C-alpha cells in the first residue's frame, strides 16, 4: 500500500499559473491520449494513487488539485463551479493543449460536465463519477438533510482556527431505517482513531498521515480533512458554489461521449438522500444527454478510492469501447 504523500513512480509533481492562481498537479508518462482526473471536494491528487498506475500504461495521466485543495491556491470567498471551471479550462488549453478524456468525482464530476459543455474543443469524452448534479444544488441541498448535515459539520468543526478533527468524528453517523436520530461513531472509537493520528504525527513527522495498519482511504482522508479550505464546503451550503451554474443548460451543450457512474444510494424518511445521485436525477440526465452511458456500481460515493478495481474495470471497458 502506498504512502500518502509519496509520488507514484513515473509521475512528476508540477505547478501551473493560470494568471490568477497556481494549480498543483501531477503528470505521468506520455503513453497515449490525455486523461485528466479532477478530485472531488475535500480530495487532492493523492486520492487517485490507487488507480493512476494502471491508467498510465495506456494514457497520459494528469491529476489536478482544484483551487482550495492540496498545494493549489486557497481562495476563501471565491469558490464556484464557474470560477473553478475557468481554472480548468485554462489548464486544458495551456498544459494539455489537445483534446483529452476528463474524469471527475463528485464536485469534480460536475466540473467534468462543465468542461464538456464549455471547453468542448479540449474534451474528447468524460467520466462523471457520482456527480451530485442536482442534489447539492442550492436550494435543493437544504432539503437533503443528511447531505446538508455533513457539510454543516465540516464547516462547524474544521472551519475553526485550530481544526477540531475529534469533534468532526464525534458527529459522524449514519441514518437507519425507522430511526430519526443518526447512529453516531462511539466516542471511544473516535478518540482512539484521532489519538492514533496525533501520536503518529508526533513521532513520524515525515509520514504524519501514514498510521500503521490503517487502510489507505483512511490515511489519505486525514490529509484531506487537515488541509483543504473549509470555505469550499461553506460555499456548497450557502449557494456560492452553484451560483450562476445551470445544470440543465450545461447538459444540453454536451456533445461528446459521457460515462455516468452511479454509486449506491437510498432515501431516508427523515434524512433524505443518502448518496449523491438518485434514479430520478439519472433519468433527468439521460433525457438530456443522448451520448450517455450509465453504469451502476455497488460502491460508496468515492468509487475510485473505495473500490479501485471496480473503477478501473468500468472506466477501461468504457474507454476501450470508444476506441479513441
The CATH number that applies at residue 287 is: 3.40.50.1820
Q: Which among 264, 265, 256, 258 is positioned nearest to 310, based on CA atoms?
A: 264
Label residue 178 by pLDDT band (50, 70, 90).
confident
Q: Is residue 6 part of a domain?
A: no
Categorize the per-residue pLDDT at 6 as very low, low, confident or very high, splitting at 50, 70 and 90. very high
Q: Are residues 225 and 170 in the same domain?
A: yes
CA distance 9 to 309: 19
Using an 8 Å Cβ cutoff, are 135 and 144 in contact?
Answer: yes
Q: Would 5 be classed as within a structural domain?
A: no
Statement to judge: residues 38 and 88 lie in one domain: yes
Number of domains the chain contains: 2
Q: Is residue 7 part of a domain?
A: no
Q: What is the mean pLDDT of residues 83-111?
A: 98
- Within 10 angstroms of residue 172's Cβ, the number of other Cβ atoms is 15
pLDDT tier for residue 161 given thresholds of 50, 70 and 90? confident
pTM over 0.95: yes
Classify each residue of 96-110 as buried b or exposed e, where b means 16 or more C-beta atoms within 10 Å of its C-beta. Answer: beebbbbbbbbbbbb
Tell me: do 170 and 37 sit in the same domain. no
Do 81 and 99 lie in one domain? The reply is: yes
Of 179, 212, 233, which residue sits at a domain end? Answer: 233
**Residues 181, 226: one domain?**
yes
Answer whether residue 200 is part of any domain: yes
Tally the residues of the chain.
324
Q: Is residue 89 part of a domain?
A: yes
Q: What is the pLDDT of residue 226?
A: 96
Does some domain include residue 132?
yes
187 and 245 share one domain: no
Asked if 276 and 300 sit in the same domain, the reply is yes
In a domain, 177, yes or no: yes
Shared domain for 158 and 281, answered yes or no, is: no
Structural domain contains residue 199: yes
Verify that 163 and 111 share a domain, yes or no. Answer: no
Q: Using pLDDT thresholds of 50, 70 and 90, give the confidence band for residue 281.
A: very high
Q: Are strands 22-27 and 12-17 parallel, antiparallel or unpaired?
A: antiparallel
Do 19 and 112 have their domain in common? Answer: yes
ω before 139 within 30° of 0 (cis)? yes
The answer on pLDDT for 59 being more than 90 is: yes
Where a domain ends, among 178, 213, 233? 233
Q: Residue 302: name the closest of 88, 104, 155 by CA.
A: 104
Domain boundary among 205, 233, 261: 233
- What's the average model confidence in pLDDT over 127-148? 97
Q: For 23-32, what is each residue's pLDDT tens digit?
A: 999 999 999 9
Compute the 3-state secondary structure of the chain and give helix, strand, coil in percent, each to the nearest 5.
45, 15, 40
Range of the domain at 263: 12-139+241-322
- 196 lies in the same domain as 250: no
Q: Kindly tell me if the per-residue pLDDT of 142 is higher than 90.
A: yes
Helix (H) or strand (E) holding 198: helix 187-203
Amino acid at each position: 500500500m502506498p504512502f500518502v504523500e509519496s509520488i507514484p513512480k513515473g509521475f512528476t509533481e508540477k505547478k501551473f499559473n493560470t494568471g490568477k492562481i497556481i494549480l498543483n498537479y501531477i503528470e505521468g508518462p506520455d503513453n497515449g491520449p490525455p486523461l485528466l482526473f479532477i478530485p472531488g471536494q475535500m480530495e487532492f491528487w493523492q486520492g487517485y494513487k490507487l488507480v493512476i498506475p494502471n491508467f498510465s500504461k495506456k494514457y497520459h495521466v494528469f491529476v489536478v488539485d482544484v483551487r482550495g485543495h492540496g498545494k493549489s491556491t486557497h481562495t476563501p470567498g471565491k469558490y464556484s463551479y464557474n470560477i473553478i471551471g475557468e481554472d480548468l479550462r485554462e489548464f486544458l488549453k495551456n498544459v494539455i493543449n489537445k483534446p483529452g478524456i476528463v474524469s471527475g468525482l463528485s464536485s469534480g464530476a460536475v466540473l467534468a460536465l462543465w468542461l464538456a459543455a464549455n471547453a468542448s474543443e479540449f474534451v474528447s469524452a468524460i467520466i462523471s463519477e457520482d456527480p451530485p448534479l442536482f442534489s447539492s444544488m442550492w436550494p435543493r441541498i437544504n432539503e437533503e438533510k443528511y447531505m446538508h448535515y455533513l457539510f454543516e459539520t465540516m464547516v462547524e468543526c474544521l472551519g475553526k482556527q485550530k481544526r477540531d478533527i475529534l469533534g468532526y468524528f464525534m458527529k459522524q453517523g449514519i441514518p437507519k431505517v425507522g430511526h430519526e436520530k443518526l447512529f453516531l461513531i462511539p466516542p471511544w472509537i473516535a478518540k482512539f482513531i484521532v489519538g492514533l493520528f496525533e501520536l503518529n504525527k508526533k513521532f513520524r513527522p515525515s509520514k504524519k498521515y501514514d498510521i500503521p495498519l490503517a487502510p489507505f482511504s483512511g490515511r489519505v482522508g486525514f490529509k484531506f480533512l487537515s488541509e483543504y479550505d473549509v470555505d469550499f464546503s461553506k460555499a456548497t451550503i450557502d449557494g456560492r458554489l452553484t451560483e450562476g451554474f445551470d445544470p440543465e443548460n450545461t447538459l444540453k451543450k454536451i456533445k461528446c461521449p459521457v460515462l455516468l457512474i452511479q454509486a449506491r444510494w437510498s432515501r431516508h424518511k427523515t434524512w433524505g438522500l443518502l448518496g449523491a445521485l438518485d434514479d430520478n436525477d439519472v433519468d433527468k440526465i439521460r433525457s438530456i444527454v443522448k451520448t450517455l452511458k450509465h453504469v451502476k456500481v455497488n460502491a460508496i460515493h468515492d468509487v475510485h478510492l473505495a473500490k479501485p478495481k471496480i473503477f478501473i474495470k468500468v472506466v477501461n471497458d468504457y474507454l476501450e469501447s470508444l476506441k479513441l
